[in-house]
Amino acid sequence: MAKPGKVFIFFNCDAAKSEASMNIFYNHAVYKDTKTSRKNLWKKVKEEYGAERIQIAADDLPAVEQAITEGDPVEAGNFIQFGAIRAFDCY
């Protein structure tokens, strides 16, 4: 079997980041592990931040952008309140 790739999904969620609060039917876009898709994921996070549906400390915005565009997008969730990014295997 081929080695799986990764895809990322941004979820709005509760403060505890419980899986029950992460609704795939509300946030239904999947972002591939490519430069273009990561930029689109960052755009989505900025939109949610601008609409005040998630909270990120202003000082943490560069770390969130770096994690999403160049590092591990899941780690960006450490800086986001009411939002999370999860990785899934893709075959």
What is the SS3 assignment for the chain? CCCCEEEEEEEECCCCCCHHHCCCCCCCCCEECCHHHHHHHHHHHHHHHHCCCCEECHHHHHHHHHHHHCCCHHHHHHHEECEEEEEEEEC
The confidence band for 3, taking pLDDT boundaries of 50, 70 and 90, is confident
Q: What pLDDT is recorded for position 27?
A: 84
Domain extents in the chain = 1-6+32-91
The confidence band for 1, taking pLDDT boundaries of 50, 70 and 90, is confident
pLDDT (mean) for 74-87:
97
Per-residue pLDDT tens digits for 20-77: 999 988 888 999 999 999 999 999 999 999 999 999 999 999 999 999 999 999 999 9
For the entire predicted model, the pTM comes to 0.93
